[in-house]
Structure 1
Amino acid sequence: MDTDAITFGTDGWRAPLEEFTVPRVRAVGQAVATYLTDTGDERPVAVGYDARERSAEFAEELADVLCANGFDVVLPERDRPTPVFAYGIVDRTLAGALVITASHNPPEYNGVKFIPSDGAPALPSVTDAIADRLAEPHAASSGERGTLRTADFVSPHAEHVLELVDSDRVETDLTVAYDAMHGSGRATTDALLERAGVAVDRLRCESDPTFGGTAPEPAPENLEPLIDHVQSHEADLGIANDGDADRLAIVTPKRGYLDENLFFAALYDYLLEQASGPVIRTVSTTQLLDRIADAHGETAYEVPVGFKWVAQGMADHEALVGGEESGGFTIDGHVREKDGVLMALIATAMHAEEPLDDRVDRLLATHGSIRQDKRSVACPDEQKAAVLSALEAEIPDAIAGGTIADVNTADGFKLTRDDGSWLLLRPSGTEPVLRVYAEAADTTLVQTLLDAGEELVRDVRN
Structure 2
Amino acid sequence: MTNRAGTQALPSDLIDIDALVKAYYDLTPDMSVPEQRVVFGTSGHRGSSLNAAFNEQHILATTQAIVEYRALQGITGPLFIGADTHGLSRPAQETALEVLAANGVRTLKDSRDGFTPTPAVSHAILAYNNGSHADEADGIVVTPSHNPPQDGGFKYNPPHGGPADGSATNWIAARANELIEAGLVDVKRTNPEGLIEEYDFLEHYVADLENVIDMKAIAESGVRIGADPLGGASVAYWAAIKDRYNLNLTVVNPEVDPAWSFMTLDWDEKIRMDPSSPNAMASLISKRNDFDVLTGNDADADRHGIVTPDAGLMNPNHFLAVAIEYLFANRPGWRQDARIGKTLVSSSMINFVADGMGRVLWEVPVGFKWFVPGLVDGSVGFGGEESAGASFLRKDGTVWTTDKDGIILALLAAEIIAVTGKTPSVLYKELTVRFGDPAYARVDAAADREAKARLGKLSGDDITATELAGDPIIAKLSHAPGNGEAIGGVKVETEFAWFAARPSGTEDVYKIYAESFKGPEHLKLVQAEAKKIVDAALKA
Shared topology, TM-score over 0.5? Answer: yes
User: What pairs with 1:302-317 in structure 2 (closer than 5 Å)?
Assistant: 302-315=363-376
Give yes or no for contact 1:73–1:146 (8 Å, CA) kept in 2.
no
Which residue of 109, 113, 126 corresponds with 1:90?
A: 126
Q: How many angstroms apart in 1 are the aligned matches of 2:458 and 2:164?
A: 30
- Per-residue deviation, 1:427: 2.0
Cα separation, partners in 2 of 1:138 and 1:108, compared to 1, 3 Å: same
Describe the SS at the equivalent of 1:409. strand
**Aligned position for 1:119:** 161
From 332, 336, 340, the counterpart of 2:402:
336
Deviation, 1:206, is: 0.5
* Alpha carbons 1:189, 1:344 under 8 Å: kept: no
1:440 Cα deviation after fit = 1.3
> For residues 26-69 of structure 1, what are the alpha-carbon distances to aligned partners after superposition, in whole Å with 9 as ceiling and x for unaligned?
11100000011122222121221110112111001111111111
For residues 61-87 of structure 1, the C-alpha deviation after alignment (integer angstroms, 9 at most, x for no partner) is: 111111111102111212221110111
Instruction: Tell me whether 1:195 sits opposite 2:264 in the alignment.
Output: no
Partner Cα separation in structure 1 for residue 455 and residue 365 of structure 2: 19
Does 2:398 correspond to 1:398?
no
Q: Which amino acid aligns with 1:449?
A: V
Say yes or no: does 1:254 pair with 2:254: no
Structure 1 window deviating more from structure 2 (341-350 vs 244-253): it is: 341-350
Please say if residues 164 and 369 of structure 2, whose CA atoms lie closer than 8 Å, have aligned partners that are also in contact. yes
CA shift, 1:133, in A, is 2.7
Report whether the alignment pairs 1:210 with 2:210. Answer: no
Q: Residues 64 and 140 of structure 1: is their aligned pair in 2 closer, same or farther, counting only changes over 3 Å?
A: closer
Consecutive unaligned residues of structure 2, counting only runs of 5 or more, are 1-28, 130-135, 264-270, 480-486
Give the 3 Å change call, closer, same or farther, for CA 182–66 of structure 1 in structure 2.
Answer: same
RMSD over aligned Cα atoms: 2.5
In 2, the alpha carbon distance for the partners of 1:458 and 1:381 equals: 14
| Mapped partners of 1:7, 1:341: distance in 2 | 28
Amino acid at match of 2:224: T
* TM-aligned CA deviation for residue 453 of structure 1: 2.6
Q: For the Cα contact (< 8 Å) 1:192–1:345, is it kept in 2?
A: no
Aligned partners of 2:445, 2:467: CA distance in 1, in Å?
22
Question: Could you tell me which residue of structure 2 aligns to residue 451 of structure 1?
Answer: 528
Judging changes above 3 Å, is the alpha-carbon distance between structure 1 residues 279 and 237 closer, same or farther for their aligned structure 2 residues? Answer: same
- 1:196 is displaced (CA, Å) by 2.9
Instruction: Assess if the C-alpha contact under 8 Å between 2:149 and 2:258 holds in 1.
Output: yes
**In the aligned structure 1, how far is the partner of 2:520 from the partner of 2:212?**
37
Q: Shift of residue 306 of structure 1?
A: 0.5
Map Cα deviations across residues 373-428 of structure 1 (whole Å, 9 max, x no partner).
111234455652134457864542222222211011121111001x2310110123
2:455–2:503: 8 Å Cα contact kept in structure 1? no
TM-score by length of 1: 0.92
Aligned pairs for 1:96-175 (under 5 A) are 96-134=138-176, 135=179, 136=184, 138=186, 147-170=195-218, 171-175=220-224
Q: Which residues of 2 match residues 292-441 of structure 1 at below 5 A?
A: 292-315=353-376, 318-332=379-393, 333=398, 334-354=400-420, 355=422, 356-379=424-447, 383-389=451-457, 393-410=462-479, 411=487, 412-417=489-494, 419-429=495-505, 431-441=507-517
> Per the alignment, do residues 192 and 137 of structure 1 end up closer, same or farther by CA in structure 2, a change over 3 Å counting?
farther
Q: Tell me, in whole angstroms, the C-alpha distance in 2 between the residues paired with 1:158 and 1:427.
A: 38
Question: How much does 1:367 deviate?
Answer: 2.5
Q: Equivalents in 1 of 2:446, 2:97: separation in Å?
A: 36
Q: How far, CA to CA, are the matches of 1:91 and 1:308 in structure 2?
A: 19
Does the 8 Å contact 2:463/2:476 carry over to 1? Answer: no
Matching residue of 2:328: 272
The match for 1:15 among 32, 44, 47 is: 47
State the Cα deviation string for residues 62-118 of structure 1 (Å, max 9, x = none). Answer: 111111111021112122211101111122345211111110111121111100112
The worse-fitting range, judged by mean Cα deviation, of 341-350 and 353-362 is 353-362
Q: Is the contact made by 1:391 and 1:457 (CA closer than 8 Å) also made in structure 2?
A: no
8 Å contact from structure 1 (residues 10, 306) kept in 2: yes
Task: Give matches, 1:283-294, under 5 Å.
Answer: 283-294=344-355
- The answer to which of 297-306 and 385-394 deviates more is 385-394
Contact 1:69 1:146 in 2 (8 A): no
The equivalent of 1:178 in structure 2 is: 227
Match of 1:281 in 2: 342
2:7 aligned partner: none
Structure 2 length-normalised TM:
0.79
1:244 to 300, 306, 313: 300
Task: Write the distance in 2 (CA, Å) between the matches of 1:361 and 1:140.
Answer: 57
1:161 is displaced (CA, Å) by 1.5
8 Å contact 1:9–1:430 — kept in the other structure? no
Give 1:69's aligned residue: 103
Q: Is residue 54 of structure 1 aligned with residue 88 of structure 2? A: yes
How far apart in 2 are the matches of 1:443 and 1:194? 44
Letter in 2 for 1:92: Y
Would you say the 8 A contact 1:178–1:190 is kept in 2? no
Q: In the alignment, what sits opposite 1:229? A: 287
Specify every segment of 5 or more residues in structure 1 that has no aligned partner in the other structure, as ranges.
none
Distance 1:106 1:446 in 2: 30
Q: Structure 1 422/146 Cα, relative in aligned 2: closer, same or farther at 3 Å?
A: farther
1:167 positional shift: 1.2
Letter in structure 1 aligned against 2:318: L
